[in-house]
A and B are shown apart, each in its own frame.
Chain A
Amino acid sequence: MSLVVNSTNKKNMAAKNQVSKKAEKRILMCGNEALAEAAIIAGCDAYFGYPITPQNEVTAYMSRRMPEEGRVFVQSESELAAINMVFGASATGKRAMTSSSSPGVSLMQEGISYLAGAELPSVIVNVMRGGPGLGNIAPSQGDYFQATRGGGHGDYRTIVLGPSSVQELVDCMQLAFDLADEYQIPVIVLADGILGQMMEPVILNKKPSRKLPPKDWALTGAQGRQQNIVRSLWLKEGSLEQHNYKLRDRYEQIQKNEVLSEQYEVEDADIVVVAYGIAARIVRGAVTKAREEGIKVGWIRPITLWPFPTEQISKAADEFRIFLTIELSMGQMIDDVKLAVSGKSPVVFYGRAGGGVPAVDEVLDKIRQLTIK
């Protein structure tokens, strides 16, 4: 279920699709630049952003590459403006994105709520840093609640992707644009300061796109047709509730069709470690070491944070196992793990926040502690 680039299709895809200059090669890139190039390959027509650390490489890269491609780059006056520029471009049927880091994404929440209400496809990358407030510029996973609970007002959901490598961050970009277009929904790519800054080898290529619905709702000028209206205001009695039901039905489809997760040696495990994003990379090392020590431990890694892999975790909890949730926060995703486990097994937590990153041995220690009974 992991997002692996299908390299056998590479040549066909290159012929079929306009690929960016950097495609097809295995190259070393930092996450921020790689996600930017991946967005270009995915057909991003317009990028709007405001400087904030630790994602400045995205804006810098886009300011150079988008004009090279004849596409749109605007450095906005604020994150508020950036998300509303996305709103405008998306309403005309273009593929539009923005990127930011935690405090900037807080400012975008108004716009995200409007995007959700107006059913506009859009991609928002959050390269998370420590909080609350101005926090610091170190990596964090402290925005899980904001991303998965809808940091803005009203009854809405966004799809949230939590990649754990630079390659997966790359692969998430096209997936994000496709999901956004298919479900007319904002998609958040939830990365963190480590993923944004670290360099890993990546293959950048265009993958076959999903079959996507026509954007007949887009504002293109009412030439020879009735006017199109993009709105989030529903004043007539009962009309908003109807709209809410329509959104709910779509969210249920997403929950049914789009859950992505990965798991490792869960079948015989007494302990299951649940982690996403960069924390999952640390967990992977710790679990391998623990297995070498004879501890029966496995891991589950949610890739989509919403829709959350509730069923997968619930199934694993049908037998008694201890679930250990590891996060770069004081405990946020653990709420979803607990909901999934639903009291069938104990769920414990270990996390570091404010820029603290647990070492492999630190996680290994926590696993060992759970075996002392």
Chain B
Amino acid sequence: MKTVFKRTPTLKDCPTHYCPGCGHGIAHRLIAEVIDELDIRGRTIGIAPVGCAVLEYDYIDVDMIEVAHGRAPAVATGMKRTNPDKIIFSYQGDGDLASIGAGEILHAGHRGEQITVIFINNAVYGMTGGQMAPTTMINQVTGRSAAAQGYPLQVSELLVTLPGTIYVERCALSSSTAVRNAKKAIKHAFELQLDGAEGMSLVEVLSPCPTYWRMSPADAMEWIEKEMTKVFPLGRLKG
């Protein structure tokens, strides 16, 4: 029998704590595959956020740190500046990156830090039970808030305006094609850092949260494609 697919070694062989239909597991696998394909496990340091992915180090088998809510880009700055030969990536959700850490991501981009940011946007706070996020869409149903406050914040579009960002792409996990594109984007972001490209790269990943969208996993995938992409259009925004 021929093996056509196998778990990449940097993804640990264990069940995750994520809800059924959650996108984090897919995103973790893509990062682990990219790390193995580029053969950089021995020089990569990852930064886990506060949020559902706080235990990311239980799934991705590289040196990792877990940091305060929103502060990953500052921590990444401290790591990369003192270790220019290492590959530093942060993994942040939309509450973490777009709300409490809005200042840190903006200024890491402003300074042009040579780091790779994987930004998981599911338009909601997951771990605390589904509160609205700055990315929550108008009329979106969330677990613990009646309606969105303000308008969804388009972080990628914002970061594109900074000379310090070299690559910004928004992708999704809503279909097998979309997942393949997301992997390409993540790989490109890592490759840029590996090549010493001068600036920050960010890949925004539209990711399903069926639990707090109050949807089935299948409906959540459809909602990304039909609704989320209207406000958060997919594609390469810069670089």
- Write the residues of chain A forming the contact surface with B, with a CB cutoff of 8 angstroms: 45-46, 48, 72, 74, 76-78, 80-82, 84-92, 94, 96, 110-111, 114, 118, 219-224, 227-233, 235
B104 CB–A CB distance under 8 Å = yes
Task: Digitize B151-171: 1 where CB-to-A-CB distance is under 8 Å, 0 elsewhere.
Answer: 000000000000000000000
Q: Which residues of B contact A114 (CB under 8 A)?
A: 67-68
Complex alpha-carbon distance, A160 and B149, angstroms: 44
Given contacts A111-B68, A221-B45, contact A84 B63 (CB under 8 A): no
Across-interface contacts of B74 in A (CB, < 8 A):
76, 80-82, 84-85, 87-88
Residue among A90, A96, A111, A221 with max Cβ neighbours from chain B (10 Å): A221
- Apart from A46-B81, A85-B78, A219-B64: 16 A-B pairs, beta carbons within 8 A: A77-B110, A81-B71, A85-B74, A87-B65, A87-B67, A88-B65, A88-B67, A88-B75, A88-B79, A89-B82, A90-B78, A219-B63, A220-B63, A227-B61, A229-B66, A231-B65
Given A111-B71, A221-B45, the answer on whether A46 and B63 have CB atoms closer than 8 Å is no
Q: Are A222 and B82 in contact (CB under 8 A)?
A: no
User: Inside 8 A of B61's CB, which chain A residues have their CB?
Assistant: 222, 227
What is B's interface to A at a CB cutoff of 8 Å?
A: 41-45, 47, 54-55, 57, 61-68, 71, 74-79, 81-83, 86, 103-104, 106-107, 110-111
Q: Can you name the residue of chain A whose Cβ is closest to the Cβ of B86?
A: A221
Give bound CA distance, A219 to B43, whole Å: 9
- Docked-complex contact B65 and A222, CB < 8 angstroms: no
Q: Shortest distance in angstroms between B12's beta carbon and chain A's nearest beta carbon?
A: 9
A81 and B107 CA atoms in complex are apart in Å by 9
Alpha-carbon distance between A155 and B226 when the two chains are bound, in angstroms? 48
- Please name all residues of chain B whose beta carbon is closer than 8 Å to the beta carbon of A81 when the two chains form the complex: 71, 74, 77, 103-104, 107
- Partner pick for A233 among B41, B62, B66, CB 8 A cutoff: B66
Which residues of chain A have C-beta atoms less than 8 A from B79's C-beta? Answer: 88-89, 91-92, 219
**Complex-state Cα separation, A90 to B44, whole angstroms:** 16
Most chain-A Cβ atoms within 10 A of its Cβ — which of B45, B66, B74? B74
CB distance from A147 to the nearest CB of B (A): 20
CA distance A31 to B77 in the complex (A): 28
Residues of chain A with a CB closer than 8 A to B77's CB: 74, 76, 81, 85, 88
Shortest beta-carbon distance from B164 to chain A in Å: 12
* Inter-chain contact A224/B103, CB cutoff 8 Å: no
Name the residue of chain A whose CB is nearest to the CB of B66. A231
Beta-carbon contact of A84 and B82 below 8 Å:
no
CA of A135 to CA of B159 in the docked complex: distance in angstroms? 36
* Chain B residues within an 8 Å CB radius of A224: 42
- CA A227 – CA B79 in complex, angstroms? 16
Task: State in angstroms the CA–CA spacing of A45 and B77 once bound together.
Answer: 14
- Distance in angstroms between the alpha carbons of A77 and B162 in the assembled complex: 15
CB atoms of A89 and B67 under 8 A apart: no
User: Nearest chain-A residue to B69 (Cβ)?
Assistant: A110
> Which residue of A is nearest B45, CB measured?
A219
> Considering the chains assembled together, what is the distance between the CA atoms of A221 and B71 in angstroms?
21
- Tell me which residues across on chain B come within 8 A of A221, comparing CB atoms: 41-45, 62-63, 86
Contacts of A90 in B (CB 8 A): 78
Q: Which one of A85, A110, A229 lies within 8 Å of B64 (CB-CB)?
A: A229
- CB <8 Å contact, B103 and A94: no
Q: Which of A48, A74, A230 contacts B65 (CB 8 A)?
A: A230
Query: Can you give 10 A-B contacts (C-beta < 8 A)?
Result: A45-B82, A48-B78, A74-B111, A76-B74, A81-B77, A85-B77, A89-B79, A92-B82, A92-B83, A221-B63
Partner among A46, A77, A118, A235 whose Cβ is within 8 Å of the Cβ of B78 = A46
Cβ of B192 to closest chain A Cβ, rounded Å: 18
Taking CB as reference atom, which chain B residue is nearest A235?
Answer: B55
Residue among A72, A91, A232 with the most chain B CB within 10 A?
A: A91
Q: Give the residues in chain A near B78, CB-CB below 8 Å.
A: 46, 48, 74, 84-91, 96
Kindly identify which residue among A45, A77, A84, A228 contacts B67, using a CB–CB cutoff of 8 Å.
Answer: A84
B42 contacts A227, C-beta separation under 8 Å: no
What is the CA–CA distance of A342 and B68 in the complex, to the nearest angstrom? 39
Contacts of B83 in A (CB 8 A): 92, 94, 220
